[in-house]
A and B are shown apart, each in its own frame.
Chain A
């Protein structure tokens, strides 16, 4: 050790200053500028992000609680506190078999969304890939998109009565046309050179479609689906408010008739929690299916 250092010094005395040596002080520790809370586009660590998310939720709950106490005492029962909604939730699940309603609602969302996706995704991909197919369907589908799904309620009630089918059909109609146009956009947005590379490699049309267009568009399509399932929840409440015996929306509607605001708000909280859960599941699926994809931030 000792000899190696002195040897190298002898060999090239002029480059001494570049040699690591114990005699020389360690390089100074770099002190970065103080980080402020508002740094442009700085992403927090996962740990910090969860703390912030928690703080954000607390802020919301604080506002809620403050709203409750700021409401005049005479009207307070129309703006229940967190505790009151919490106990309403407990009663719902423990005594009124609310879990049954929640699962019915989830089932309706699941079935209608699966059916809508099973049709919208292939059609959207075909429309995005082939101009003639797009020209064939797009004008009609655009017209459908402008029809409010709620306007189909009378028709669906006549056709199906107050059944499960009527509700599932409404959710289906509410989602499918928007989903088609989103998938269409996702498909046309893929880099055109991917398709051209496939063509110059001699790939057949079906190979290009299944081997290039689909994998290239799929991550964006999953994002679109994630956004559309939120819309699906919106229609769920509308569907269940209109002549339903079960489901979260029906429970809320019944509570409304008796001015049980705590139960209504318990329903809202439940839907919010389920929405968050759906979103997390979708993100998890995306991460598992597309490990090659750059993490999308939204």
Chain B
């Protein structure tokens, strides 16, 4: 399964991503979106970026993806300095990016075609991932006939099939309605658990952050800095698939209260 992108096989103790002293200035240096931000991602952890609107979450994620460049700082993936985007960091956007001119199957295949995965293996992996996102019946359907949640599942399968070391998501479920969102969250937990990925997911939704994440990085606004770095220890190192179970866990309510308080502080 791990034939794609095998250059990125983890080396022990080297973090999958290390961001050192990242700053991003806009408008000719007059506006600081990010100010001296440093963190390391832990392997196979889901990290949520949380913070008020405009605090620089998207900017940070796009810098990691290589779609934007920091004004200062350094970015390392498994110890190697990176510049620009690459298939080691897969991205899932809030906007639907499944290509409308390709069927669901061709979409999932597309990323592997780019990586020149041999045809036979490509077919097999495509079918596997379509099954994982429950779209095997829609293999030959064009995205215009798929619902928003299904389109997002195509994008998820396409990204996972490329086997990136790190998966970046910018409010991936932001455009979905509540029930579909909830389904997608459960699916994501299941897939990440299975595929063993390091994930960064941006979310506005505190409940979603607590549910998905193993760790929350909370950004403050203007300039964007890390306000708090919170490991979700109350889960006891597990991922809780059932939301009901999570709600009953000691520590849940307290953490949610804390995060809301932090958010209120920032909005003021």
Question: What is the interface of chain A, defined by CB distance below 8 A to chain B?
Answer: 191, 193-194, 196-203, 207, 211-212, 215-216, 290-294
- In contact, B101 and A290 (Cβ under 8 angstroms): yes
Instruction: Report 21 cross-chain contacts, Cβ distance below 8 Å, ordered by A residue.
Output: A191-B95, A196-B65, A196-B67, A196-B91, A197-B93, A199-B67, A200-B87, A200-B89, A200-B90, A200-B91, A201-B111, A201-B114, A201-B159, A202-B87, A202-B114, A215-B99, A215-B101, A216-B100, A291-B142, A292-B101, A292-B143
A202 to B90 Cα, complex, angstroms: 9
B131 at interface, CB cutoff 8 A: no
A199 to B102 Cα, complex, angstroms: 18
Q: How large is the interface on B (under 10, 10 to 19, 20 to 34, 35 or more residues)?
A: 20 to 34
Q: B90 — nearest CB in chain A belongs to which residue?
A: A200
A249 to B85 Cα, complex, angstroms: 56
With A202-B86, A292-B144 as given contacts, are A197 and B101 in contact (CB-CB < 8 Å)? Answer: no
Chain A interface mostly helix, strand, loop or mixed?
helix
Closest 7 CB pairs of A and B: A202-B87, A200-B91, A292-B142, A197-B97, A215-B101, A199-B85, A193-B93
B66 at interface, CB cutoff 8 A: yes
Q: Given A191-B97, A212-B99, 14 more contacts at CB 8 Å?
A: A193-B95, A193-B97, A194-B97, A196-B97, A198-B114, A200-B67, A200-B90, A202-B86, A207-B114, A215-B101, A291-B142, A292-B100, A293-B100, A293-B101
A215 to B110 Cα, complex, angstroms: 14
B115 at interface, CB cutoff 8 A: yes
Q: Pick from A197, A211, A293, A294: contact of B91, CB below 8 A.
A: A197
Q: A192 — nearest CB in chain B belongs to which residue?
A: B95
B88 to chain A, nearest CB (A): 8
B96 to chain A, nearest CB (A): 8
A248 to chain B, nearest CB (A): 38
B152 at interface, CB cutoff 8 A: no
B227 to chain A, nearest CB (A): 28
B220 at interface, CB cutoff 8 A: no
A191: which B residues are within 8 A, CB to CB?
95, 97
A296 to chain B, nearest CB (A): 12
- In contact, A201 and B110 (Cβ under 8 angstroms): yes
Q: B144 — nearest CB in chain A belongs to which residue?
A: A294
B23: which A residues are within 8 A, CB to CB?
none
B198 at interface, CB cutoff 8 A: no
A194: which B residues are within 8 A, CB to CB?
97, 99
A197 to B158 Cα, complex, angstroms: 10
Q: Pick from A201, A291, A293: contact of B90, CB below 8 A.
A: A201
